[in-house]
Structure 1
Amino acid sequence: MNKRYLFNDITNKVINTIKSGVLPWQKPWVNGLPQNMFSKHIYNGINFLLLSFDNVAFPNYFTFLQAQQHNKKIKKNSKGRLIIFYKLHEIKTEDEIITFPYLKYSYVFNVEDLEDFEPPIPQLKKPIEILNQIKSNHEINFVQNSSQGCFYNVTKDFISTPNVSYFVNEEKYFSSLFHELIHWTGKEGRLNRFKKNDDDYHLYAHEELVAELGSSFLCGLCGINSVEETSSYIDFWLNKAKLDISFVPKCAILAQKAINFLLNNSFTN
């Protein structure tokens, strides 16, 4: 499978799902993120996006080989879900060894596809644990306001947030805060996502998708609802995705880079 075919498949799924009134990554995540049930690896980046389309109660997956190794039987007519990964290929020349990554794909099955299915018990972190981990990794300027909502000021480089009592519930507070923390990573000197020569609205709408995907992942780590107010950007996302099949996958990759930056690549349960 080449990258163009993969991106086209993802884009078509996103477009069709959004048209039906659903954003696939916006979920309660009460049972955590898509995860390999045996290795405990959390699927991230594009694979997080791919498995977000899967409407299952328990986002726990395994490969056909893993089922064989653990003497598990897969139900008849079960269908695998596509995931991707990169492998390194080496070419030896007279002077050097050239290494480059190439795209590969595999299929995983859901835990409910097993004949002896037992509901897994999710291992979730508390939102405050995620926040404290981020604070211990980075010096972030937080400013409390009385009622202005949660936002990131890129010019002065601070995150402003009201007291948790301002929000409908604690989940909404952390969901909003995680969203702004993803924005915080984009500043020059960190991940440099903000480009001065871009159209302001286009840049902001693009960045909002990165922040939404990133905050959804962080919410999933602690099993909380990730629903955000994004209706004003949906038309832009749809039009952009139709014109550029790499738009959504690239946003997923950028979101994962932001998460890796915040958590220092430590986000397994």
Structure 2
Amino acid sequence: MGVQQLYQKVTDDIIREIEAGNLPPWLQPWKQGRRGGIIPINAVTRNCYNGLNVLMLWAERQEKQYPLAEWLTYKQCQEAGGQVRKGEKSTPGIYVNKQVIEKGTEDEWLVPFMRQFNVFNLSQCDGLDHIADAGKMVELPEHERNEQAEAFFAAIGAEVRWGEPMAAYIPSRDMIVMPERGAFRNAESLYATWAHESAHWTGAKHRLDRDLKSRFDQDAYAFEELVAEISSAMTCAHLQVKGELRHASYCQSWLEVLRKDSRAILSAASLASKATDYLRAFSEEKREAA
């Protein structure tokens, strides 16, 4: 089967499954657990910090050269059986939420509010080795690795930071972040996720310059996710990676985009094929040069 026929088959399968409307829900392809990467997380709840807190904790970690991106409050430290070392200073964070204000018996409105909270890096605490040990890197067993897929992604040469609490492409750093290999439910989920984030990587301005704002406006993010997921399916088909990857289930989250534009799926498939071709070229160029 030729490359374009392969792409078309993947696209047709996705369209058919979306239209059937009986798809299972998307499942996170990695297990929850401790991480040791650059995205700030709470050492106890394992939730990622967001908004301005990411930048504040990033900056503080870089300045103080903390080895871990894990933080917790003084109370959380004590409840976990640890103690903040004497003289250590906390780092402020900002909590943003909305409070319901009632007026009479019928009217009510939401009033936004902010409050400061303080956290300590895990490195500032004693007695929490049991938490720190849980953050050690886990590798995918050698016998589960797909040599063809490993060579494919290695040839691309994108910077990948392993050990994060999430999978994402960070445009500002031109970097892909991924959970550790051993956190994935299986090898197929690992390679499908890697292909998805690699597809996002291709859209950077100095690569394919995939700017979707002009056509999809506020739906540009959703459409970019659709492109990346279809490209992931195409890449996995090219690599002959099998398994229940549930690409179509993920695409179902973006049905609103498809309802607004009947040709959106065709546009997404076209852009996805370009992204996959871009990724494939790295391996093919090396083979030709050999």
| TM-score of the superposed pair, with normalisation by structure 2 | 0.46
Higher relative contact order (CA 8 A, sep 6+): 1
| TM-score of the superposed pair, with normalisation by structure 1 | 0.49
Q: Bigger radius of gyration, 1 or 2?
A: 2
More helix by share: 2
